[in-house]
Chains A and B, each alone.
Chain A
């Protein structure tokens, strides 16, 4: 079965530190990749997505992610985190094809805590 694995369950950083959150998926076919963020007390919202083209995608709030097909990875990065980036981050995958559209497979999430 298709699965998504996020390497870090809980990450603690100081402000201005660089961030990289790992994400690997198990499906070998064509996939669409997503990072969602859930700020405290808020709903899940899309941070960035990759469907095709340039494997380096930029999202909101200075986040970016790189799709490395050979490694089945889609790691999230930010050069300098802020206290307001404290949140839960979820990597998600869908298999390409209309029958799978909207059927997101999520990782277990990474809690990021940024200390001021």
Chain B
């Protein structure tokens, strides 16, 4: 039974570019949440998707957007990248609004 998978594992971009990160939830899960983890900090909630809609959003600018597909997989898009967007981006999945989240290993984004 596959857990939460994220791709790519590492990514290097330059300021102003756009990036797309991908997440496949654990089998049987239908809810996907995205978190940003800066170096030395705890994860920060970006947003959550359920039934292909954004259900909750954290304190992140509109440059951060997402999408959920009918197969429950999800994408995180970040436009106009800033140096401060460099972080580990974590995807977590759950069934419905169950608070037992399963996390992926993350995508390490470096913005130069």
- Tell me the minimal C-beta distance from A105 to chain B in angstroms: 7
Determine the residue in chain B with the shortest Cβ distance to A6.
B42
B interface size (C-beta, 8 A): 27
Contact with B along A81-106 (1 / 0, CB 8 A): 00000000010101000111111111
User: Which residues of chain B are within 8 angstroms of A109 by Cβ–Cβ distance?
Assistant: 40-42
A interface size (C-beta, 8 A): 26
Contact check, A102 vs B33: say whether CB atoms are below 8 A apart.
yes
Determine the residue in chain A with the shortest Cβ distance to B56.
A103
Chain B at the A interface: mostly helix, strand, loop or mixed?
loop
Q: Which one, B42, B45, B90, contacts A103 given CB within 8 A? A: B45
Judge if A42 is at the interface, Cβ distance under 8 Å: yes
Residues of B bordering A, CB below 8 Å: 3-4, 31, 33, 35, 40-45, 48, 56, 58, 90, 92, 94, 97-106
8 of the cross-chain contacts (CB-CB < 8 Å) are A34-B99, A43-B103, A43-B106, A46-B100, A51-B99, A98-B97, A106-B44, A108-B40
